[in-house]
Every structure is written in C-alpha cells, then in structure tokens.
C-alpha cells in the first residue's frame, strides 16, 4: 500500500513556487511514491517531468480547472502524457455553476471529454468540496448526481473525505457507491475542536483504517494527501501524514 501514497502538491504550493524541482526531490527522500500535480506555477512541464523521472516519483493524476478543459484540452492531454498519468481531475467549479442547470452542464461536458479521451486511455474524475452536498439535482445531492454510478456516466469520483465530513456525511458510507469508480481518493483529516479545520492525517477526527480497507478492496490506485492550510511548514505536515499512513498500512498488513 505504501507505493500508493502521493502528496498533493497544492499543500506545498508556496514552496514549489520558489523551488519546484527541489521540493519534488525532498518529497521523494521523505518517502512519497507519487505526487498529484495541481498547476505548474510558471515552471516548464518538461523540466518538472524530467525531475520526476530522475527521482522515480509517479504522477497520481493532474488537477485542472474547468476553463483549461474547455479551452486548452490538447495541452492538458499533452501534460498528462508527459507526466505518464491516465487521470485528469476537475478540481473545482465556479459559483456561477453551482445551480441545477450548472451541474447538468458540468456533467454533460465532462462526459463529452471522457468519451473523446477514452480511446487514448484517459479517465476523467471530479474532486469534491462541501458545497456539492448543499443542493440537489434530480432528487440527488449535486455530488451524487455528478458521480452517479450509471452506465451512461463516465465521470469518476475523487472523493475528498474531509469535505464529505465537513458536509455532515459519514466518509466511509459515502464511498460505497463508487467501488471501482474511484482511481484516486483524497485523504485529509479534520481537527477535533470546534473549528473543524484541516489536520494532518491520523491526528484528527476521521477514522482512516476502515477507509483504507474499503479502498484496497474497491479499486483505489492512489491515496493523495492534501492539507489546504498547515499550522507550520507544510513539509512537516506532509511528513506527519505520511508517517501515520505508513503505520496504518503496517497494521493492516499485520492483520492479514
């Protein structure tokens, strides 16, 4: 399982602006198997891909905004090929699309992209926040509508367990419909205080052991760790999360 742990680079976005190649090398030394890319911060994609090949880091998908899928799809595909990943993930939609009509248009567009790219082996996923749990489309939660496990829906899930809990849902139960429809999951913990903000994996209120068990049984290929805000150096936060995930993986292996 430890070969499936990836750091979401938005966690270290400020550090990457100063030295993207150096941060990649440090993440590899830390013990991460992969990284999930969420913007190149002005760096050349070929330079970053070369450093990943040098270090052996794999790409656990790329996060892209909707406007890039709409206007720069060929460039996005070329980046995915360069980083040797099949997974292109829509990371968020704007407030203007958080309506019934907007969610329908997003699902329709993502399916068009997925059908177009499927012959080349690419997969399209959607990364959630909490706002998709606040409205309904066709009698379903907006997120359930976007990710509906139906034959005519090619949009795959990238569930962020923190945001599901923030939306007052049980993360483990929420995963169940997406068996073998979720190549990547986002692991993020929640503090136990009233603020319920971001925490290092294994230090907060989310029970990750059963989540990892479910993921291993249901086709998850990457565990991407993201921490939107860190209390200190984000590299220290990523180290804590990785250490705790490694311990959970060891305990799981010992149980088998």
Would residue 61 be called left, alpha or beta, if left means φ above 0 and alpha means ψ between -120 and 50 degrees?
left
- How many domains does one find in the chain? 1
- Percent of the chain topping pLDDT 70: 100
pLDDT of residue 256: 81
pLDDT of residue 154: 98
Provide the residue range defining the domain that includes 22.
2-255
pLDDT of residue 152: 97
CATH number at residue 48: 3.20.20.150
Nearest to 176 by CA among 198, 149, 141, 143: 149
pLDDT of residue 31: 98
| CA gap 85, 230 in Å, rounded | 28
pLDDT of residue 74: 98
Distances in Å between the Cα of 166 and the Cα atoms of 32, 65, 162, 188, 190 are 27, 22, 6, 11, 8
DSSP 85-137: --EEEE----GGG-SHHHHHHHHHHHHHHHHHHGGGT-EEEEE--SGGGSSEE
Compute mean pLDDT per 10 residues along the chain, 256 residues long, and list them: 96 98 98 97 97 98 98 98 98 97 98 98 98 97 98 98 98 98 98 97 98 98 98 98 98 90
């Amino acid at each position: 399982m430890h070969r499936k742990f990836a750091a979401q680079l938005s966690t270290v976005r400020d550090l990457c602006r100063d030295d993207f190649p150096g941060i990649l090398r440090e993440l590899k030394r830390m013990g991460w198997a992969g990284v999930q890319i969420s913007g190149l911060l002005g760096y050349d994609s070929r330079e970053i891909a070369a450093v990943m090949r040098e270090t052996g880091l794999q790409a656990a998908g790329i996060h892209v905004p909707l406007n890039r899928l709409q206007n720069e799809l060929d460039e996005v595909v070329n980046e995915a090929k360069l980083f040797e990943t099949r997974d292109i993930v829509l990371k968020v939609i704007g407030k203007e699309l958080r309506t019934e009509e907007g969610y329908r248009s997003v699902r329709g567009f993502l399916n068009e992209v997925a059908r177009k790219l499927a012959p080349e082996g690419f997969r399209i996923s959607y990364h959630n926040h909490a706002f998709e749990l606040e409205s309904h489309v066709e009698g379903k939660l907006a997120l359930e509508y976007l990710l509906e496990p139906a034959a005519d829906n090619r949009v795959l899930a990238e569930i962020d367990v923190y945001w599901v809990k923030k939306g007052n849902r049980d993360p483990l139960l929420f995963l169940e419909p997406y068996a073998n429809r979720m190549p990547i999951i986002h692991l993020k913990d929640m503090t136990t205080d009233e603020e319920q903000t971001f925490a290092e994996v294994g230090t907060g209120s989310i029970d990750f052991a059963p989540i990892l068990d479910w993921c291993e049984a249901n086709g998850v290929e990457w565990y991407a760790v993201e921490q939107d805000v860190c209390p200190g150096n984000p590299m220290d936060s990523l180290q804590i999360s990785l250490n705790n995930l490694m311990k959970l993986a060891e305990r799981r292996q010992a149980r088998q």
